[in-house]
Amino acid sequence: MSDTNPERAGGATGVDPRALAQTIVFSGVTVVRDGRTALDRVSIGFEEARIGIVGLNGSGKSTLLKCIIGLVKPSAGSVSVDGRDAVGEARAIRRATGFLFQDPDNQIVFPVVGEDLGFGLKNHGYSRAETADRVEAALTRLAIRHLASRRIHELSGGEKQLVALAGVLALAPKTVLFDEPTAHLDLKNRNRLRDVLQALPEQAIVVSHDLELVADFPRVVMIEAGRIVRDGPADEVLDHYREANR
Which residues contribute to the site for another protein (CB under 8 A)?
8, 11-15, 34, 66, 69, 71, 91-92, 94-96, 98-99, 101, 103, 105-112, 119-120, 122-126, 133-134, 137, 140-141, 151-153, 167, 169, 171-174, 201
d(CA 164, CA 4): 17
Answer yes or no: are the C-beta atoms of 169 and 121 closer than 8 Å: no
Nearest distance, CB of residue 239 and another protein, angstroms:
33
* Residue closer to another protein (CB basis): 94 or 219: 94
* Residue closer to another protein (CB basis): 71 or 225: 71
Nearest distance, CB of residue 170 and another protein, angstroms:
8
Nearest distance, CB of residue 41 and another protein, angstroms:
24
Bridge partners of residue 29, in order along the sequence: 42
| β 175-179/227-232 pair status | unpaired
d(CA 76, CA 28): 7
d(CA 67, CA 26): 9
Nearest distance, CB of residue 153 and another protein, angstroms:
5
CA neighbours closer than 13 Å in the CB half-sphere of residue 26:
27
* Residue closer to another protein (CB basis): 133 or 231: 133
* Residue closer to another protein (CB basis): 207 or 222: 207
The CA-atom distances, in angstroms, between 188 and each of 91, 162, 167, 195, 243 are 35, 13, 21, 11, 28
CA neighbours closer than 13 Å in the CB half-sphere of residue 68:
31
Nearest distance, CB of residue 137 and another protein, angstroms:
5
* Residue closer to another protein (CB basis): 71 or 211: 71
